[in-house]
Structure 1
Amino acid sequence: MRIIADTHCHTIASTHAYSTWMENIHAAKEAGLSYLAITDHGPTMPGSPGRWYFKNLKIIPRQVEGVFLLTGVECNVVDFDGTIDYVEDEHKNLDWVIASIHSSTLLTKEAPTVESCTNAWLQIAKDPRVCVIGHCGQPKFKFDYERVIPEFGRGGKLVEINNNSFHVRRDAVINCREIALLCKKHGVRVIVNTDSHFATQVGHAGLALKMLDDIGFPEELVVNSSVERFRQYLKERNIHLED
């Protein structure tokens, strides 16, 4: 199995990433990708892009170097009510919205519990703006997987299998495997992403793909494992790149 789209990538606009749009696009072409989404961080993340960055993404062409481009954001979950830092006037025209929990962007002093994290994800499962549930395997933010994973499926969310977790969140890998097994059990679609912070990572998701292969994960549930499946999801989201 391979991926034909990488839909979680960062640029120097996030300030803790180190490549430009064009460097990422060129890397996507070299990796044989058909689609690339750039998803710099929402405003709660320290060092995130300014408001005009997102408003002006309308200037980005739909295709560069043969790679179709999606404009996106990695929104931060800021509380356990499932609030995300989606800024309506800045983000409303973006194609791709990831929701992720980061310790540095929670605006509540409440310590995370399985119950509170479960509530947050249940609310996000119903949020029509969100496409992807980002790297949700961190032990600190463990939730009731059996209860929530089917709700992600019912809400049309793609559960991310994040290759970067195998490098920088290694304590999450066992949970990533459990989440993937439950997606397999309940027929919930996933998307394999790199969460690239440097261009050489774009399109290279070997560790995540190996884990899916090891558990016999059905390829038809991996949305970005074929152009046809990815196009179908874009159609569901009313995203038109190739018109």
Structure 2
Amino acid sequence: MKCLLDMHTHTITSGHAYSTLLENAKCASEKGLQLLGTTDHGSSMPGAPHEWYFGNFKVLPKELFGVTMLYGCEANIIDYEGNLDLPISLQEQMDILIASIHEPVMEANENADLNTSAFLKVMDNPNVHIIGHSGNPKFPIHAEELVKKAKEKNILIEINNSSFVSSRIGSEKNCTKIARLCKEHGVKIILNSDSHFCLNIGNFDAALSMLKQIDMPEELIINRSKEEFLDFLRVKGKNF
């Protein structure tokens, strides 16, 4: 299966990534991607940009090197009530909004009830499109509850390639379980690189290998179609 989009990438603006927006777009073009999401970290992450950064996306082009650009944020879930570190007014302006838990923002814990509550409540937010790297073993969850709520709210579950190869090591078991549950319940997933360096954009090899092992139906993987993904965003109220 050819993947045509990567919605979770970072630029130097995130503070711990190493490529510019232009470098990311150029690499995406060279790899044959049709859609690229740039989603730098929300402001509660150390080194992340001020919220004004997210409010000024209007100055950026909608296409770079032949790639359609979507501008958004990987917002941090900041409490167990599912609140995010991006103001609602800015959330509404994002082309794409990922909600994730990060250890520098939330303290790692073994309480699956609390962690699951954070994810379930953030999915009640109509501005959220994707749940980011929910397989992190430092924040265990009740995976089936997450998957069922994603289906109810029409939210994509991310399978994060970085979780297999460089970040959140130990996630593979949990990610596999989540993917199996998505298959069982017919919930769509999105493969994302979580790239912090441009050469990693569009690299889903580890995640695809896992999905092949569990015989994941291609129709549940939204990366295969630019138009299917844009249609998903249109259903969520975006105009493209």
Do both share a fold (TM > 0.5)?
yes
Query: Is residue 109–residue 139 contact of structure 2 (8 Å, CA) maintained in 1?
Result: no
How many percent of aligned residue pairs carry the same amino acid?
Answer: 42
Give the TM-score taking structure 2 as reference length.
Answer: 0.95
Contact 1:122 / 1:151 at 8 angstroms: preserved in 2? yes
Alpha-carbon contact 2:135-2:178 (below 8 Å) kept: yes
Deviation at 1:170, TM superposition (A): 2.4
Q: Which residue of 2 aligns with 1:103?
A: 103
1:36 corresponds in structure 2 to 36
User: What does residue 71 of structure 2 align with?
Assistant: 71
Q: Which moved more, 1:9-18 or 1:47-56?
A: 47-56
The alpha carbon displacement at 1:24 in A equals: 0.3
Measured in 1, the distance between the counterparts of 2:119 and 2:169 equals 22
C-alpha RMSD of the superposition: 1.4
Unaligned runs of 5+ in 1: none
Q: 1:91 to 1:234 in 2, by over 3 A?
A: closer
Q: Secondary structure at the match of 1:140?
A: coil
Alignment partner, residue 151 of structure 1: 149
Trace 1:113-132 onto structure 2 (pairs within 5 A).
Answer: 113-132=111-130
- Give distance in 1, aligned partners of 2:109 and 2:137: 13
Contact 1:223 1:233 in 2 (8 A): no
The CA deviation at 1:110 is 8.8
Deviation at 1:112, TM superposition (A): 4.7
Aligned partner of 1:8 in structure 2 is: 8
Is residue 173 from structure 1 mapped to residue 172 from structure 2 by the alignment? yes
Q: Do the aligned partners of 1:130 and 1:157 also contact (CA within 8 Å) in 2? A: yes
Structure 1 runs of 4+ with >6 Å offset: none
Distance in 2 (alpha carbons) for counterparts of 1:155 and 1:85: 21
Letter in 1 for 2:222: V
Q: Which amino acid aligns with 1:182?
A: L
Cα distance between partner residues in 1 of 2:185 and 2:198: 34
Pair 89,227 (structure 1): closer, same or farther in 2 beyond 3 Å: closer
* Structure 1 counterpart of 2:186: 187
Trace 1:197-236 onto structure 2 (pairs within 5 A). Answer: 197-236=196-235
Cα deviation 1:124-161 (Å, max 9, x = unaligned): 22111100000000112111112221111111110000
Report if the CA contact (8 A) 1:194-1:201 is conserved.
yes
| Contact kept in structure 1, 2:84 and 2:99, CA below 8 Å | yes
Per the alignment, do residues 234 and 110 of structure 1 end up closer, same or farther by CA in structure 2, a change over 3 Å counting?
A: closer
Structure 2 Cα separation of the partners of residues 104 and 110 of structure 1: 9
- CA pair 110-104 structure 1, distance change in 2 beyond 3 A: closer
Q: Determine if contact 2:38/2:73 at 8 Å carries over to the other structure.
A: yes
> Do 1:55 and 1:91's aligned partners in 2 also have CA atoms closer than 8 Å?
no
Shift of 1:216: 0.4
Candidates 137, 140, 158, aligned match of 1:139:
137
Alignment check: 8 A CA contact 2:13 2:40 kept: yes
Task: Tell me if structure 2 keeps the 8 A contact 1:161–1:191.
Answer: yes
Greater shift in the superposed pair: 77-86 or 180-189: 77-86
Matched-pair contact (CA < 8 Å) for 1:52–1:90 = no
